[in-house]
Chain A
């Protein structure tokens, strides 16, 4: 684990010109348990270190927040030099409940009323980010490759122990 961390730090310093001290001061976790929106699936044990090793660009997931060089052409327009932010975690900015009346109002009223207007919710941020990249880079893409479905999940999907009776008949029969 220590080795991974060292490797990772070297990788980052190697790849980037600008690594703000805040980035390290906050302590980069090797592992992150993503458990804030579990309902039908179990938590995700996210290997942060391995992802850093592979990607070597914090901004691919963290946009302009880590203080590392900003490459996203969209972010760059305002955040070229805005430095490390106090909050870098996904859930720090992406709302777990993006569509409540309050959240919609916040989104509508924000200043300046542009760019962050169309910010996806937390679940969307995770999946669009993770799955989008996994598709491109050949990572796992099945739902249960990352998080096992729990019993309430099986129930709502009518799967496993909740499989409809009629399905148990040979499936090919219906052409």
Chain B
């Protein structure tokens, strides 16, 4: 498996030539300078409150009309292993054994980055960061290259191989279509008995998060995870233990992932002009995963 950063750098290198054919007037994404939309919503996740009931998983399954799960959502045996998001489950709760026989649960889903690496790595512009804060995608234009999967620092986008007509990439969309765009909180937030998740304006949540730490310094580690990480995320976390212990990288860079490949990013909208250069990168990836991807290459070629 090629390292994802190397892969991205590879793409950049091979598209430098194309970069010079700049298309004026395109609303280029100013990487590194984007503070998030002023009225964007977010979710403050207080991990000290979670009891691992998995109601959020059930609500997500129901809201997003996902396939029947393998096990009922009240089956606690799933905690025997660490799970990740799949095309059938946009959110999963994992259990972590931390100090003093304590356990902590962490629900994982897309964090809806301010400057999403998935978005910037997608050369067909399938992703959109909405003004409400959601990172959504257009499955109709997805060509199945899996760039976003490699780029995402939180390992979120999942891939559906089940049907060629189905969207290929699948992930949490903050219940954008059914809820967020009408000002309503996502289904998981609403169902959670413990109000682990507080929905609100991201700016208010940042204040709220720091206020919680301040008024209870013994309870929380002094960090609001996601306030700064990779340029800030809409979903932010409070924890009673080091984030490293619960599967969140404590040393995540504060710059957006994509600043690493900034020059490349300005050109994201000009997909078509840089296509041939990118193709080399894709081909590299595709041949590393033989069998799954041969036909996609063909499809991409056709569209050109």
Contact = CB atoms under 8 A, between A and B. Distances in A.
Contacts of A118: 198, 208, 211-212
Contacts of B104: none
A31 interface: no
Interface stretch (B6-14, B89-97, B183-191, B273-281): B183-191
Interface in B188-227: 189-195, 198-201, 204, 207-208, 211-212, 215
Nearest to A37: B193
A167 B208 contact: no
Interface SS of chain A: helix
Nearest to B204: A108
Contacts of A124: 192-195
Interface SS of chain B: mixed
Interface in A128-175: 128, 131, 141, 143, 156-159, 162-164, 166-167, 171
B184 A156 contact: no
A157 B194 contact: no
Interface stretch (B67-75, B141-149, B228-236): B67-75
Given A118-B212, A131-B51, A156 B195 contact: no
Contact of B194 (A40, A128, A171): A128
A123 interface: yes
B211 A117 contact: yes
Contacts of B51: 131, 141
B135 interface: no
Most buried by B among A99, A126, A156, A158: A99
Interface of B: 49, 51, 53, 55, 58-59, 61-62, 68-75, 77, 183-185, 189-195, 198-201, 204, 207-208, 211-212, 215
Given A98-B195, A104-B200, A156-B59, 10 more contacts: A74-B215, A99-B184, A101-B183, A108-B201, A124-B195, A158-B58, A158-B61, A158-B68, A159-B75, A164-B69
Interface of A: 40, 74, 98-101, 104, 107-108, 117-118, 120-121, 123-124, 126-128, 131, 141, 143, 156-159, 162-164, 166-167, 171
24 contacts: A74-B215, A99-B189, A100-B183, A100-B184, A104-B199, A117-B211, A118-B211, A118-B212, A121-B195, A123-B195, A124-B194, A128-B195, A143-B53, A156-B61, A156-B62, A157-B73, A157-B74, A158-B58, A158-B68, A158-B69, A159-B74, A167-B71, A167-B75, A171-B77
